[in-house]
Chain A
């Protein structure tokens, strides 16, 4: 139910803030997604999509930080 999938925002259309829509690519498929809840989203961003709505713009810096923490675990001597 709470499944949400990240996809790349390819285009944005619509002036009404509640009906702003985007085309979002998930691998090989593209879906129309409501963007009302991510007014900050720009073309090229990755958005997290749940039941036809983008609910967040994925933060690339935070995503990288999580991966860095995980990579550090691969070198046990580097672990605090």
Chain B
């Protein structure tokens, strides 16, 4: 398909990895913060094509994986109510809560649906005014405009039986938290191209300057990722710490202004807890008071009681790029995509799932 196939050309892949090898004279550690990029890297073996000097670590780039256990429990509790139809993106259904997952609620008779778009959930609410339709809204900035539009249309169209359980997170505060953590070893970032398609590149400029860290906005095809690595390594070698845009075919400096305006209209910036990282100030989106009638937490009186993570799961360290999945004793044995201990093994974007699927985790079981 156009704008995909041409960024997978083998000769160009070899030329780009050779250019990276020529550019890298010292060891450098780069982090990508997008599950789509993580999967592209592991699936195509891009990390194995890089020279030994360049190490890629995988950051908290999977929104499903960073959704706190408390919120998953809240979604499970609301889905179990007889009057509720819970709509979720498919990845979320098998993520374990503290006692069960959404698939089990569905098996026990709960009305749990997988939707492709937030507008599908809104359409369901319009067709079934007798049901309380709840959208489990998980995602980064990329997904926020779609959720905002569904909520805005529910409010203006008087769709009173539609609400959303919001678990929206923002990428730049997570980068800040990673850079500020003691023992941080990340020297450069590949920023997520689709997040920046919405938000633009400007909010990364002060981050790059303050922490002296190159940030290269990068696409998702193999050549995009490798070119992102090349630009990042060149900056590091030359002592530069700038925001560069590898994915200029979709990312404009100001982002998508219409989408940002809708985000601002519906959401306000709030503190959010990230699974594996803890609470990060100003790192999430919550509904503005004008849309409170469509807030599922308010409507159903959902209390987010803190719950303990499964002791054996090291997903917190995996999400921070401090451990690789294979370093977990449960990986591929007591934790598999069929019987996961933690979210990174479930989501199609989770780091553990990527290694299990493409690096022989199945053989280890």
Contacts and interface: CB of A to CB of B under 8 A. Distances in A.
Interface of A: 1-8, 18, 26-27, 34, 36-39, 46, 48, 50-53, 55-56, 58-60, 62-63, 65-67, 69-71, 73-74, 76, 79
A52 B2 contact: no
B283 to A, nearest CB: 16
Contact of A53 (B18, B64, B145, B223): B145
A51 B250 contact: no
- Which of the listed residues A2, A53, A70, A73 has the most CB atoms from chain B within 10 Å of its own CB? A2
A36 B249 CA distance: 20
A36 B19 CA distance: 41
Contacts, number: 138
B361 interface: no
A39 B258 contact: yes
Contact of A58 (B3, B9, B227): B3
A42 to B, nearest CB: 16
A22 B349 CA distance: 28
Given A37-B258, A46-B2, A74 B35 contact: no
10 contacts: A1-B143, A2-B192, A8-B2, A55-B198, A55-B259, A67-B6, A70-B12, A70-B223, A76-B15, A76-B18
A4 B116 CA distance: 12
B63 interface: yes
A1 B62 contact: yes
A65 B18 CA distance: 20
B247 to A, nearest CB: 8
Interface in B179-210: 192, 194-195, 197-198
A12 B149 CA distance: 19
A2 B61 CA distance: 9
B256 to A, nearest CB: 6
Interface string B147-172: 00100110000000000000000000
A2 B195 contact: yes
B124 to A, nearest CB: 13
Contact of B3 (A2, A63, A76): A63
A34 B255 CA distance: 18
B91 interface: yes
Identify whether the interface residues of B are mostly helix, strand, loop, or mixed: helix
B249 A53 contact: no
B104 interface: no
Contacts of A67: 6-7
B153 A18 contact: yes
B311 interface: no
Interface in B6-42: 6-7, 9, 11-12, 15-16, 18-19, 22, 34-36
Given A18-B153, A53-B117, A1 B246 contact: no
A63 B246 CA distance: 10
Given A70-B223, A74-B11, A52 B1 contact: no
Contact of B227 (A4, A63, A66): A66
Contact of B117 (A7, A52, A63): A52
B309 to A, nearest CB: 21
B114 to A, nearest CB: 12
Contacts of A26: 1
A38 B258 CA distance: 8
B116 A51 contact: yes
A46 B12 contact: no
A60 B189 CA distance: 26
B139 A52 contact: no
Interface in B276-324: none
Given A48-B250, A66-B248, 14 more contacts: A2-B35, A2-B195, A26-B1, A27-B1, A52-B119, A53-B149, A55-B142, A55-B259, A60-B249, A66-B224, A69-B227, A70-B223, A74-B15, A79-B22
